[in-house]
Amino acid sequence: MGIEEKLPSGFLLTSVETAAGWVRKASLFPATFGLACCAIEMMTTGAGRYDLARFGMEVFRGSPRQADLMIVAGRVSQKMAPVLRQVYDQMANPKWVISMGVCASSGGMFNNYAIVQGVDHIVPVDIYLPGCPPRPEMLMDAILKLHDKIQHEPLGVNKRRAQELAEELALDATPTSEMRGLLR
């Protein structure tokens, strides 16, 4: 939490939000972290043909302390889950997570005891990227969507208001147990 969290609501906070969002989205550093086949597509995204360098993101950081983006590329085994959480905990704040591929998001075809059925059981996820494996273009699209999210991330009182609103909407939502249609 920095000084921006203490600013009063109004023009100043909005200006700080815009500036902080722009700076944060333009200086994302991904952590070097690949788990399975999806990681090959992630590496391809950093290579010359797709050129993550256009966003200044081509150098995957060797230390989580220098990274603020975790791309979970591939299935997460139960054994790997605590390691993944430790890497996440060591990353600099504020930090973001992209869940790349159906295995990372939901366990995918590996519905068994060895694989975590969704990495959001371990770390908070900002963007879910479908596909098996997602193509580099899809990962770049997810990164652009994350840029957009970071640019419009509220701070201070605006953030607290957004969190309260999200909580109210979640409490008002129809529970899945009462939903009809494809779920029944």
Q: Please report how close the Cβ of residue 61 comes to ligand SF4 at its closest, in angstroms.
A: 22
Contact 55, 62 (CB under 8 A): no
Give 31 or 39: the residue with its C-beta nearer to ligand SF4: 39
177 to 33, 53, 85: CA distances (angstroms): 37, 46, 31
Give 36 or 84: the residue with its C-beta nearer to ligand SF4: 36
- Integer Rg of the chain from CA: 18
Give 13 or 35: the residue with its C-beta nearer to ligand SF4: 35
Contact 125, 99 (CB under 8 A): yes
Give 102 or 142: the residue with its C-beta nearer to ligand SF4: 102
Give 108 or 136: the residue with its C-beta nearer to ligand SF4: 108
Q: Please report how close the Cβ of residue 76 comes to ligand SF4 at its closest, in angstroms.
A: 10
Q: Please report how close the Cβ of residue 107 comes to ligand SF4 at its closest, in angstroms.
A: 9
Q: Please report how close the Cβ of residue 99 comes to ligand SF4 at its closest, in angstroms.
A: 10
CA distance 143 to 146: 5
Q: Please report how close the Cβ of residue 103 comes to ligand SF4 at its closest, in angstroms.
A: 3
Residue 104: phi and psi, rounded to 5, are: -65, -35
Identify the three-state secondary structure at position 30. strand
Give 132 or 144: the residue with its C-beta nearer to ligand SF4: 132
CA distance 6 to 8: 6
CA distance 81 to 146: 23
Contact 40, 70 (CB under 8 A): no
Q: Interface with ligand SF4 by CB under 6 A: which residues?
A: 36-38, 74-75, 101-103, 108, 132-133
Q: Please report how close the Cβ of residue 63 comes to ligand SF4 at its closest, in angstroms.
A: 24
**Please, what is the end-to-end C-alpha distance for the chain in angstroms?**
44
